[in-house]
């Protein structure tokens, strides 16, 4: 009788154990080299994830093609809940710019959660470019065509597309130097090999705080608490940089609904973790806090919006295909 009573309990506990997530390390592709925004966000996310779940989150850096290479790889991994991608808003723009690419954001990935919002920052190496305001920066780039070199995190990255839009709308002149990620681009900017860059706040902030780089403007509609003296695009009337960059967590397309819900439960717990949120706040990052279907709807809407916006600006597929990265 004792066995008859206890066996169903044991079976139930065993069943619950098998349904738990995570029960082993989670692999997350970061589609850029170390040192960039995706990598920094991933590092802090992994620390909080391990503290919460007692399982590790392994970051797999696969840079190149403005994040396209790593994103395509992540889409081909097993949909088992242990393979994911940190993808950004640049993927919504790349879909319009590279319609013939093997990877498709909407077709190949399942959006899980919006992890972060952050502005982009116009930064200069003060030893190479003497502009002290965004107006002086624009004047320099108009007066001396192709003298200055603009670094980017890669062909099709947020820094590349933002700079292209700014160049188009503000009639600027510069030469692009595309890198395989923000980390390598920042190193060359610090070394003086390039003069200026539009970079994510989280990756350039330490260098701005140290004085090695000077921040001239942040994108979006308001100033940032971590850079209170730096004006925002809205107050300067530069509507070409009116939006913030965002980063989200994605899974391969065919992940099961039950597994997706288990993952969302853990991600929502992370979003309620005050220690984790304070770390993000200290580096100028705002937690996204949008999950599941709501985040998927946002990704779809942003993809459509950027397709229309880039078409209106006259951006062509050839602009990306002909560019090279160093």
**Is residue 319 scored above 60 in pLDDT?**
no
Smallest Cα–Cα separation from 154: which of 119, 132, 182, 129?
Answer: 182
Per the DSSP assignment, residues forming a β-bridge with 59 are: 28
pLDDT of residue 64: 82
Question: Residue 288: pLDDT band by 50, 70, 90 thresholds?
Answer: very high
**Is residue 323 scored above 60 in pLDDT?**
no
- C-beta separation of 35 from 182 below 8 A: yes
**Is residue 5 scored above 70 in pLDDT?**
no
The per-residue pLDDT for range 183-235, each reduced to its tens digit, is 999 999 999 999 999 999 999 999 999 999 999 999 999 999 999 999 999 99
Q: At what angle do helices 90-97 and 292-313 cross, to 10 degrees?
A: 50
> Regarding the domain delimited by 120-243, which CATH topology (the fold level of the hierarchy) does it fall under?
D-Maltodextrin-Binding Protein; domain 2 (3.40.190)
- C-beta separation of 194 from 177 below 8 A: yes
pLDDT of residue 4: 42
The per-residue pLDDT for range 289-310, each reduced to its tens digit, is 999 999 999 999 999 998 888 8
pLDDT of residue 65: 80
CATH number assigned to the domain covering 24-117+245-313: 3.40.190.150
The per-residue pLDDT for range 75-121, each reduced to its tens digit, is 999 999 999 999 999 899 888 777 777 888 899 999 999 999 999 99
Beta 245-252 vs 109-118: how paired, if at all?
A: antiparallel
- C-beta separation of 166 from 192 below 8 A: no
CA atoms lying within 13 Å on the CB side of residue 317: 6
Residues of the chain with CATH 3.40.190.150: 24-117+245-313
The per-residue pLDDT for range 29-83, each reduced to its tens digit, is 999 999 999 999 999 999 999 999 999 999 999 988 888 889 999 999 999 999 9
Per the DSSP assignment, residues forming a β-bridge with 245 are: 118
Backbone φ/ψ region at 289: left (φ over 0), alpha (ψ -120 to 50), beta: left
Residues of the chain with CATH 3.40.190.10: 120-243
Q: And the tokens for 159? A: 């820094």
Question: Residue 313: pLDDT band by 50, 70, 90 thresholds?
Answer: confident
pLDDT of residue 18: 42
The per-residue pLDDT for range 140-185, each reduced to its tens digit, is 999 876 689 999 998 888 899 899 888 888 889 999 999 988 999 9
pTM: 0.88
Helix (H) or strand (E) holding 11: helix 2-19
pLDDT of residue 314: 78
**Is residue 6 scored above 60 in pLDDT?**
no
Q: What separation, in Å, do the N-terminal and C-terminal C-alpha atoms of the chain show?
A: 72
Beta strands in the chain (DSSP E): 26-30, 57-61, 83-88, 109-118, 120-124, 149-152, 175-178, 196-200, 214-218, 245-252, 286-291
pLDDT of residue 101: 76
């Amino acid at each position: 009788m004792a066995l008859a009573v206890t066996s169903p309990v044991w079976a139930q506990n065993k069943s619950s154990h098998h349904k738990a997530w995570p029960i082993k390390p989670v692999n997350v592709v970061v589609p850029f080299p170390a040192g960039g925004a995706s990598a920094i966000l991933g590092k802090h996310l992994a620390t909080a994830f391990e503290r919460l779940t007692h399982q590790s989150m392994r970051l797999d850096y696969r840079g190149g093609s403005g994040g396209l290479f790593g994103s395509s790889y992540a889409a081909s991994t097993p949909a088992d809940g242990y393979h994911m991608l940190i993808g950004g808003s640049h993927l919504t723009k790349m879909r319009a710019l590279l319609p013939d690419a093997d990877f498709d954001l909407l077709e190949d990935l399942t959006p899980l959660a919006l992890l972060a919002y952050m502005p982009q920052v116009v930064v200069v190496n003060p030893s190479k470019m003497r502009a002290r305001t965004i107006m002086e920066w624009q004047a320099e780039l108009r007066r001396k065509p192709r003298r200055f070199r603009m670094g980017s995190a890669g062909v099709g990255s947020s820094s590349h597309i933002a700079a292209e839009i700014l160049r188009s709308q503000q009639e600027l002149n510069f030469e692009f130097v595309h890198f395989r990620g923000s980390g390598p681009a920042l190193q060359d900017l610090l070394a003086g090999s390039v003069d200026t860059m539009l970079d994510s706040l989280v990756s350039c902030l330490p260098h701005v705080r140290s004085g090695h780089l000077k921040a001239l403007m942040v994108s979006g509609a308001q100033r940032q608490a971590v850079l209170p003296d730096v004006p925002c695009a809205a107050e300067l009337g530069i509507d070409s940089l009116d939006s913030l960059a965002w980063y989200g967590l994605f899974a391969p397309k065919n992940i099961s609904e039950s597994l997706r819900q288990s993952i969302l439960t853990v991600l929502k717990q992370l979003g309620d973790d005050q220690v984790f949120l304070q770390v993000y706040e200290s580096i100028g990052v705002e937690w996204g806090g949008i999950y599941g279907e709501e985040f998927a709807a946002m990704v779809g809407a942003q993809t459509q919006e950027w397709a229309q916006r880039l078409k209106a600006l006259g951006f062509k597929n050839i602009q990306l295909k002909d560019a090279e990265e160093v």
